[in-house]
Amino acid sequence: MVLQDSLVRRAKTEVKLDLDLLLLTIFSCLVACYGIKLDNIFVIIGSMLVSPLFDPIVAMVVFAKRRMKTEFFLALKSFSIAMIAAISACLLFWSVVVSLGGDIAYSTTIRSVTVDSFFLAVILGVVGSFIWIWPKSSNSAAGVAIAVSLVPPIALLALAIVTSPSLILYYSTILFYNIAGIFIGSYLVMILNDKNLHVLENILEK
């Protein structure tokens, strides 16, 4: 349980579009591209360790829950710019790989959109948000939980755009489902956190 003012202050701090957010997002997705190219799951896991994409998402949830429209759109802007930068970097990576005649391993790619991936994103949103709001918790731990659903799909979407246009819809849908699932999971945690605050306030009033 965390006080609402504390969450808003933290969200305002984390939502700023700075060089750290852009560079870490770009490099984490580029590492994921290398993992896909090499068909190395350990490299893909490593790419998730540096992704900061969860902070703008949870900030959007905090602001949406409190109906802070200006701050919400600021968080959405930061997230959108980071996503566009990451996809652009991945597009450049795959374009260079293809132009040089490099081999691409496809065994790590996702072949279909499933309901399971959406519910997994919801669960990860719940887990990541609990870690994010707990005192003395690590942003990295929350980020890793969310990066599972975001970083590989970004790299795969860029790969589809360059090499397999027929798969663009698949990976776009997966990415959208995962973002929506994370948002919903985070929102549920914020609702639970607020209910706990109301219970505490009633106890203190007595």
Q: What gap in Å lies between CA 152 and CA 119, rounded to an integer?
A: 17
3-state helix/strand/coil string of 22-73: HHHHHHHHHHHHHHHHHCCHHHHHHHHCCCCCHHHHHHHHHHHHCCCHHHHH
pLDDT digits (tens, 9 = 90+) for 39-66: 888 888 778 777 778 888 888 998 988 8
pTM of the full structure: 0.81
Judge whether residue 136 has pLDDT over 60: no
Among 38-42, 134-138, 159-163, the minimum mean pLDDT is found in 134-138
Q: 24-34 pLDDT, tens per residue?
A: 899 999 998 98
Closest by CA to 120, choosing from 149, 153, 93, is: 149
Position 158 scores a pLDDT of 92
Q: Give the residue among 186, 196, 46 at the shortest CA–CA distance from 127.
A: 186
* pLDDT tens per residue, range 70-96: 889 999 999 999 999 999 999 999 999
Which listed CATH number (1.10.940, 1.10.10, 1.20.1740, 1.20.1080) goes with 4-205? Answer: 1.20.1080
The rounded distance, in Å, linking the Cα atoms of 177 and 198 is: 32
